[in-house]
Amino acid sequence: MCHREAAVMLKAFFRELPTSVFPVEYIPAFITLMERGPHIKVQFQALHLMVMALPDANRDTAQALMTFFNKVIANESKNRMSIWNISTIMAPNLFFSRSKHSDYEELQLANTAAHIIRLMLKYQKILWKVPSFLIMQVRRMNEATMLLKKQLPSVKKLLRRKTIEREVISPKTSKVLQKSPSSRRMSDVPEGVIRVHAPLLSKVSMAIQLTSHTKAKDILAKFQYENSHGSSECIKIQNQRLYEIGGNIGQHCLDPDAYMLDVYHVNPQAEWVIKPQPRS
């Protein structure tokens, strides 16, 4: 099969799917964004949210496609397929609607879809990671929820304590009741030090002093060094990632280049665990 026949088959395959890889419902939002002429950062954030909202199968297929398209573009001198040619040819097959549109709407949809594909190709390396602005929003929501949960019991305790104080005759007893052991509880881990757990490795726990230069991959490297006595241990650590768990986040797989002190300051109550990364 020649490359032209392969290209025709690839376009036909995606065109004949029951639904498009990218939901065409997102197109009007992008048309509005481009008509208002915002900074490219705003368009990329919208694109990032769209990618995160895709079903797993669609997102995995899109990632494989963009990787393949970039390989094609890398050989532009031989195949004359630039980023503009790829986006113009493939966009209608990845964004399509079964409903009827006017010629103007079809043209607008095609131009916007091609623009989205160009953005995806340009930012391929960072597009599949959960965006930082979305993580920060989740943190704020979690912090607000935790604050509300803390406030409700404290109000109940205050009312209960007032009731008990009225009923208790001895002032000494009232003072004893007002003392809270939990308020005197101190952390056993110094400031700037985290304890990392690796339940699947021989070295299951390690206290690490963070500096402004410490990255997630540095912590993984320390565990790899400590467990380097066995080849199987080396293979295990290579297949694992550092996770931030609890505090103001549910579970967050850290990028290897993430600066740990920054993450620690954002979420000092988190636990730090090394474990296998799920298949994407």
Distance CA 262, CA 30 (A): 33
- Average pLDDT of 153-177? 57
**pLDDT score of 138:** 86
Q: Please tell me the predicted confidence (pLDDT) of residue 179.
A: 44
In the prediction, which pLDDT does 39 show? 79
Architecture of domain 190-279: Roll (3.10)
Q: What pLDDT does residue 99 have?
A: 74
**Closest of 80, 78, 91, 81 to residue 11, by C-alpha:** 91
Kindly state the average pLDDT of the residues 166-176.
49
How does the average pLDDT of the chain come out, rounded?
A: 81
Dump pLDDT digits (tens) for 213-223. 999 999 999 98
143: Cβ–Cβ under 8 A, 6 or more apart, which residues? 248
Flag whether pLDDT at 173 surpasses 60: no
Is the confidence at residue 199, as pLDDT, over 70? yes
Confidence of residue 189 (pLDDT cuts 50, 70, 90): low
pLDDT over threshold 70, residue 186: no
Does this model's pTM top 0.85? My answer is no
Report the pLDDT averaged over residues 83-110.
Answer: 85
SS (H, E, C) the chain: CCHHHHHHHHHHHHHCCCCCCCCHHHHHHHHHHHHHCCCHHHHHHHHHHHHHHCCHHHHHHHHHHHHHHHHHHHCHHHHCCCHHHHHHHHHHHHCCCCCCCCHHHHHHHHHHHHHHHHHHHHCHHHHCCCCHHHHHHHHHHHHHHHHHHHHHHHHHHHHHHHHHHHHCCCHHHHHHHHCCHHHHCCCCCCCCEEEEECCCCCCCEEEEECCCCCEHHHHHHHHHHHCCCCHHHHHHHHCEEEEEEECCEEEEECCCCCEHHHHHHHCCCCEEEEEECCCC
- Read off the pLDDT of residues 10-52 as tens digits, 9 standing for 90 and up: 999 999 998 889 887 777 777 777 766 667 888 888 888 888 8
Residues of the chain with CATH 1.10.555.10: 3-128
Which structure tokens are listed for 42?
């705003």
Q: Quick one: how far is CA 136 from the chain centroid?
A: 10
Work out the pLDDT band at 158, boundaries 50, 70, 90: low
Structure tokens at 142: 């979690």
CATH of 3-128, one of 1.10.555.10, 3.40.50.360, 3.90.45.10, 3.30.365.10: 1.10.555.10
Check pLDDT > 70 for residue 181: no
Provide the token pair at 202: 């021989």
| Residue with more model confidence, 126 or 33 | 126
| pLDDT at residue 162 tops 70 | no
Reading the block at residue 50, the tokens are 């769209």
Confidence band, pLDDT 50/70/90 cuts, at residue 280? low
Over residues 238-255, the mean pLDDT reads 89
Better pLDDT: 238 or 267 = 267
- The amino acid that residue 33 corresponds to is L
pLDDT value, residue 44: 84
pLDDT in tens, 108-125: 888 888 998 999 999 988
Q: How confident is the model at residue 176, as a pLDDT?
A: 41
Residues whose CB falls within 8 Å of the CB of residue 207, separated by 6 or more in sequence, listed in order: 189, 193, 194, 195, 196
DSSP letters for 5-27? HHHHHHHHHHHTSSS-SS-GGGH
CA distance 47 to 134: 13
pLDDT score recorded for residue 229: 66
Ranges of CATH 3.10.20.90 domains, the chain: 190-279
